[in-house]
């Protein structure tokens, strides 16, 4: 496909920032769209309708067209996006997305379909021919039979997964999961899947892991249909190959990144001073900061426990600012009170992007104590603000936090090890400016969207060229 022909990419995602909030997935999708739009890529984005409580979606100078598909929920008292909510409603939503995407593909040229996580499930079913059965047998019959198959094959797959060495490829009795060849027909554009951090495969919470069995089956199904599966961090290549049963030649290393121009422009020295006064930071010899959802997987309890082990090492008047909201707030407040850290640790709540970036610029050291993590945009943004980072060795953090170069690492879920990493950082305080500069340089070279957009364009053009020759 000639480079001068503008690409047309259909994007499927459960949520996008800003119209659905500012979580890691939402922001990663928004950054991806913005970077491609700036390169002249036409984008048709399929997601749920905007939440009126959040800002309106951007069109990026007319390069993005939004296609809203209702995320229909039954009249049940379920927390939105909870596991049970997604078990009941995500598959029908993904199928509705795919119906709209296929209709677009029939009307006009679409070069590639890019799906974020399970949003690609319906498109994978179109590619495998299941949707044709919906028409001939009725959707309720096919869905009932499919759910039964999902449960049976998931149970067999999980049994094999538990019995296998976690460093070896997944052994499963389901021959469909062994098929490593893409199953896309030549009538549909090629599919790119970004599974993000593989949260569905985390074993840290046994109950959650069992509940996620249908999601694991679904992600594997999408991966089987994908021409390429994106690994957002080098550390995810082996888990994607093993867990999604994908050969490494079909895995593309394309990190999530940050828009440096955007976040740099948000830093406001006056706002930083105002926030410092509001949070009583004047005179504090040490300000730690974490930007995270207040959820169990962020390891904030372990952060409190680690600081408790260092209470005689930390300078008088130290502070830890935790920016975000979530279901762990009450438990964290109880832990803070129990350790007597009420004057040191502040749950700041949700802040605007400008407030977050200005507060990062005001802080001394970033703390990312996650038990589970994907790419961690929070760590990237801290590095972009020239902060050294103390983090855990989960997800994509080891790709960014290089011990002794951009920060310090500790194993997850180990307060004593995390305390040692924080202590090592404190002992190396004279080197923080050097570590901070190295972190900024790393982001500019490897994790800025200015660099990443070109890599995505190369992949899309390669896939579109091959697909065009067959269609």
For the chain, what is the domain count? Answer: 2
122-154: per-residue pLDDT in tens? 999 887 765 444 444 444 444 444 444 444 444
**208/324 same-domain check:** no
Of 167 and 396, the structure prediction assigns the larger pLDDT to 396
- Any idea which of 229-238, 405-414, 415-424 has the lowest mean pLDDT? 229-238
**228/113 same-domain check:** yes
**308/435 same-domain check:** yes
**295/421 same-domain check:** yes
- Any idea which of 62-76, 98-112, 171-185, 399-413 has the lowest mean pLDDT? 171-185
Question: Is the pLDDT reported for residue 201 higher than 90?
Answer: no
Rg for the chain, CA atoms, rounded: 23
pLDDT at 4: 63
Q: Give me the mean pLDDT over the 72-77 stretch.
A: 75
Distance between CA atoms of 248 and 228, rounded to whole angstroms? Answer: 10
The enclosing domain of 174 has a CATH number of 3.40.50.2000
**140/275 same-domain check:** no
- β-bridge mates for residue 345, sequence order: 320
**103/223 same-domain check:** yes
Structure tokens of 471? 């269609």
The model carries a pTM of 0.76
pLDDT at 212: 84
**226/372 same-domain check:** no
223-239: per-residue pLDDT in tens? 999 999 999 888 889 99
Distance between CA atoms of 391 and 290, rounded to whole angstroms? Answer: 10
Is 297:264 a contact under the CB 8 Å cutoff? no
Between strands 345-349 and 365-368, the pairing is unpaired
Cα(first)–Cα(last) distance of the chain, in Å?
13
pLDDT at 467: 53
Is 2 inside any structural domain?
no
What's the longest Cα–Cα distance across the chain? 72
Q: For residue 25, what pLDDT band results from cuts at 50, 70 and 90?
A: confident
**313/414 same-domain check:** yes
Is 300:322 a contact under the CB 8 Å cutoff? yes
**153/40 same-domain check:** yes
User: What is the three-class DSSP state of 66?
Assistant: strand
pLDDT at 163: 40
**373/416 same-domain check:** yes
Structure tokens of 155? 């149970």
243-276: per-residue pLDDT in tens? 999 999 999 999 889 999 989 999 999 999 999 9
Of 2 and 227, the structure prediction assigns the larger pLDDT to 227
* Residues of the domain holding 460: 8-257+449-470
pLDDT at 167: 31
Q: Give me the mean pLDDT over the 322-351 stretch.
A: 95
pLDDT at 61: 86
Q: How many residues does the chain have?
A: 471
Is 1 inside any structural domain?
no
Is 92 inside any structural domain?
yes
Structure tokens of 456? 């995505």
Is 103 inside any structural domain?
yes
Question: Is the pLDDT reported for residue 315 higher than 60?
Answer: yes
Burial per residue of 303-327, b for 16 or more beta-carbon CB atoms within 10 angstroms, e otherwise: bbbbbbebeeebeeebbbbbbbeee
pLDDT at 361: 95
Burial per residue of 411-436, b for 16 or more beta-carbon CB atoms within 10 angstroms, e otherwise: ebbbbebbbbbbbebbeeeeebeebb
Is 3 inside any structural domain?
no
**87/227 same-domain check:** yes
Residue with tokens 């990663």: 28
pLDDT at 149: 45
pLDDT at 320: 98
């Amino acid at each position: 496909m000639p480079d001068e022909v503008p690409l047309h990419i259909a994007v499927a995602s459960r949520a996008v920032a800003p119209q659905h909030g500012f979580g890691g997935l939402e922001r990663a999708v928004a950054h991806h769209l913005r970077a491609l739009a700036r390169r002249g890529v036409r984008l048709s984005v399929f997601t749920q309708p905007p939440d009126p409580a959040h800002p309106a979606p951007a069109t990026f100078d007319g390069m993005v067209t939004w296609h809203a598909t209702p995320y229909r929920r039954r009249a049940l008292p379920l927390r939105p996006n909870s596991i049970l909510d997604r078990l009941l409603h995500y598959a029908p939503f993904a199928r509705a997305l795919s119906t709209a995407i296929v209709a677009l593909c029939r009307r006009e040229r679409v070069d590639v379909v890019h799906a974020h996580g399970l949003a690609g499930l319906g498109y994978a079913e179109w590619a495998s021919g299941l949707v044709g059965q919906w028409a001939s047998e009725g959707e309720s019959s096919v869905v009932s039979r499919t759910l039964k198959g999902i449960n049976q094959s998931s149970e067999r797959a999980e049994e094999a997964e538990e019995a296998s060495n976690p460093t070896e490829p997944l052994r499963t009795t389901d021959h469909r999961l062994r098929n490593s060849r893409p199953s896309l027909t030549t009538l549909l554009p090629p599919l790119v899947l970004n599974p993000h951090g593989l949260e569905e495969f985390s074993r840290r919470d046994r109950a959650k892991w069992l509940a996620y069995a249908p999601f694991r089956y679904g992600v594997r199904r999408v991966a089987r249909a994908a021409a390429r599966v994106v690994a957002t961090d080098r550390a995810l290549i082996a888990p994607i190959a093993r867990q999604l049963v994908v050969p490494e030649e079909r895995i593309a290393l394309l990190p999530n990144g940050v828009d440096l121009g955007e976040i740099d422009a948000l830093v406001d020295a006056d706002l930083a001073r105002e926030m410092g006064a509001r949070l009583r930071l004047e005179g504090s010899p040490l300000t730690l900061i974490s930007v995270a959802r207040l959820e169990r997987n962020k390891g904030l309890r372990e952060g409190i426990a680690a600081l408790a082990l260092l209470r005689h090492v930390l300078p008088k008047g130290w502070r830890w600012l935790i920016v975000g909201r979530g279901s762990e707030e009450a438990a964290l407040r109880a832990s803070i009170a129990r350790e007597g850290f009420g004057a040191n640790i502040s749950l700041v709540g949700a802040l605007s992007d400008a407030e977050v970036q200005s507060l990062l610029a005001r802080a001394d050291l970033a703390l990312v104590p996650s038990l589970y993590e994907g790419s961690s945009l929070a760590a990237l943004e801290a590095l972009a603000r020239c902060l050294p980072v103390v983090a855990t060795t989960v997800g994509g953090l080891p790709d960014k936090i290089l011990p002794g170069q951009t920060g310090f690492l500790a194993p997850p879920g180990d307060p004593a090890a995390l305390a040692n990493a924080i202590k090592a950082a404190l002992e190396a305080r004279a080197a923080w400016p050097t570590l901070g500069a190295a972190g900024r340089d790393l982001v500019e070279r490897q994790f800025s969207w200015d660099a990443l957009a070109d890599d995505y364009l190369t992949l899309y053009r390669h896939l579109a060229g091959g697909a065009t020759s067959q269609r």
